[in-house]
């Protein structure tokens, strides 16, 4: 029904992922015919219902100030209920301008300079930026690996909480960069520790909709968390490839936390939505699920292709099984070069742009991250280029 193999020309739409000048500023000089598999931005057109809705807005021709009207709240409540089987009340929902900026506002609202924020590392690097830019330090809790999957060292977590008294725990669920889906018992343990020691639990669920293996459990699911110290951050941006619209929302059940958080948003003039952002959310949530379901099948096949390619062509690498999202997390520690060296080598000699794990706060230095949220054609071309350079390095 939906053609995810269709190649979309993206070098002309000024997106960071495909912009040659921007890529060169990040990775050094790369060939003009580079293939970008780095930033978490997919290469597929948005759901047709979203595009058609935007066309109607454009044809209408007025783009004035708007507000969070009923359809916005209804769309969020219905989507969360139907997709994740959780009950959300309207008063809990607050519009924000992207999850990354919202992490910054959360730190501003609940922390003071000299405080610390806990996070499980490796993890999405804006988690650390949100703390450090406010004069708040990062309390890194290294994830352990068992049977090729990340697990949380809860004994170490509690020791760190007792010793350092973090104000918040930034918890990435599902985990970025590995795609690990936390189960109900793990989320319950996280919440219990936060409740016991007075830590605000901030959960990022932006990758929750791309399910490749297993079942996602929201922190709002019955019995998962204590709702009086919970802040959930999410958006349609990853699920439906709407990141450039910079529209997201928080779900905060507790009235006192919610009031303090909203006061901080008002200080930053986060008060009304972008008209395309709010309608993008509504249209995607109301009409985009058939598109999303087919996309997940396509991503699942891409993940399997990449898994097979790593085993066949890159025998010294070990790829974690991505349970969610469209990002592969690959251990290259047993190969001839470091992760950073591989990234630079592929960028300059193969024109394939991937990321190394040293950017993911801590404990990711031996990993590379590959975005497979693209057409199979680009993935095949990239693997072919990388394979040739890998073989050259192994036998040189």
CA distance 306 to 386: 12
C-alpha distances in Å from residue 382, one per residue of 36, 40, 103, 356, 389:
9, 16, 34, 16, 11
**For residues 264-269, average pLDDT:** 96
- Dihedral sign from CA coordinates of 107, 111, 115, 117: negative
pLDDT score of 13 = 85
**Percentage of the chain exceeding pLDDT 70:** 99
- For the chain, the farthest-separated pair of C-alpha atoms sits apart, in whole angstroms, at 64
Contact 354, 30 (CB under 8 A): no
Q: What is the pLDDT of residue 1?
A: 86
Euclidean distance between CA atoms 131 and 262, whole angstroms? 19
Does the pLDDT of residue 395 top 90, yes or no? no
Instruction: Look at residue 346 and give its three-state secondary structure.
Output: helix
Q: How would DSSP label each residue in 81-131?
A: HHHH-----GGGEEEES-HHHHHHHHHHHH--TT-EEEEEES--THHHHHH
CA distance linking residue 22 with residue 26, whole number of Å:
7
Query: Is residue 216 a contact partner of residue 174, using CB atoms and an 8 Å limit?
Result: yes
Closest CA relative to residue 108, chosen from 309, 241, 267: 267
Long-range Cβ contacts of 12-18 (<8 Å, 24+ apart)? 15/41, 15/244, 16/41, 17/41, 17/43
pLDDT of res. 396? 65
Place of tokens 């057109």: 45
Q: Give the pLDDT confidence score for residue 393 in this predicted structure.
A: 79
**Contact criterion met (CB below 8 Å) for 79 and 71:** no
Q: How far apart are alpha carbons 36 and 16 in whole angstroms?
A: 10
Using DSSP, state whether 277 is helix, strand or coil.
Answer: helix
- Give the whole-angstrom CA distance, residue 71 versus residue 361: 38
**pLDDT over 80 at 394, yes or no:** no
Look up the pTM and report it: 0.96
Please check whether residue 245 is in contact with residue 277, taking contact to mean a CB–CB distance below 8 angstroms.
Answer: yes
The pLDDT of residue 42 is above 70: yes
Each residue of 121-158: pLDDT tens digit?
Answer: 999 999 999 999 999 999 999 999 999 999 999 999 99
Distance of alpha carbon 203 from alpha carbon 173, whole angstroms? 7
In the chain, what are the domains? 16-47+290-390 (3.90.1150.10), 64-287 (3.40.640.10)
What stretches of 136-254 show up as alpha helix (H) in DSSP? 154-164, 184-197, 237-240
Assign residue 364 a region (left: φ > 0; alpha: ψ between -120 and 50; beta: otherwise). alpha
* Tens-digit pLDDT profile for residues 223-252: 999 999 999 999 999 999 999 999 999 999
For residues 169 and 152, the answer to whether their CB atoms sit within 8 Å is: no
Confidence label for 392 from pLDDT (cuts 50, 70 and 90): confident
Q: In what order do the strands lie in the sheet with 327-331?
A: 318-319, 327-331, 367-371, 355-356
Length of the chain: 396
CB 199 within 8 A of CB 167: yes
């Amino acid at each position: 029904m939906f053609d995810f193999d269709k190649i979309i020309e993206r070098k002309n739409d000024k997106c960071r992922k495909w912009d040659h000048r921007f890529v060169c500023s990040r990775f050094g000089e790369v060939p003009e015919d580079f293939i970008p598999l780095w930033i978490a931005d997919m290469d597929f057109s948005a759901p047709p219902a979203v595009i058609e809705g935007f066309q109607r807005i454009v044809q209408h021709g007025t783009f004035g100030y708007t507000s969070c009207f009923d359809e916005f709240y209804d769309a969020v409540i219905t989507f969360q209920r139907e997709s994740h089987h959780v009950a959300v009340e309207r008063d809990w929902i607050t519009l924000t301008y992207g999850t990354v900026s919202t992490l910054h506002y959360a730190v501003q609202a609940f922390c003071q300079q000299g405080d610390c924020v806990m996070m499980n590392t490796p993890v999405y690097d804006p988690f650390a930026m949100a703390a450090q830019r406010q004069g708040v330090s990062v309390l890194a809790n290294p994830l352990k690996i068992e049977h090729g999957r990340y697990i949380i060292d809860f004994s170490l977590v509690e020791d760190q909480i007792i010793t350092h008294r973090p104000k918040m725990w930034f918890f990435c669920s599902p985990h970025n960069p590995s795609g690990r889906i936390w189960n109900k018992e793990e989320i319950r343990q996280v919440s219990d520790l936060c409740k016991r020691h007075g830590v605000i639990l901030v959960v990022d669920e932006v990758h929750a909709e791309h399910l490749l293996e297993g079942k996602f459990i929201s922190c709002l699911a019955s019995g998962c968390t204590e709702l009086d110290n919970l802040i959930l951050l999410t958006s349609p941006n990853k699920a439906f490839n709407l990141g450039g619209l910079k529209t997201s929302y928080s779900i905060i059940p507790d009235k006192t936390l919610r009031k303090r958080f909203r006061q901080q948003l008002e200080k930053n003039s986060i008060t009304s939505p972008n008209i395309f952002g709010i309608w993008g959310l509504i249209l995607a949530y109301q009409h985009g699920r058939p598109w999303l379901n087919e996309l997940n099948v396509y991503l699942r096949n891409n993940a399997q292709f990449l898994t097979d390619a790593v085993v066949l062509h890159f025998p010294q690498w070990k790829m974690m099984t991505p349970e969610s999202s469209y990002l592969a997390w690959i251990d290259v520690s047993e190969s001839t070069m470091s992760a950073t060296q591989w990234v630079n080598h592929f960028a300059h000699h193969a024109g394939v742009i991937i990321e190394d794990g040293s950017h993911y706060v801590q404990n990711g230095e031996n990993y590379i991250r590959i975005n497979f949220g693209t057409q199979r054609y680009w993935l095949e071309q990239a693997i072919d280029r990388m394979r040739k350079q890998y073989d050259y390095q192994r036998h040189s």
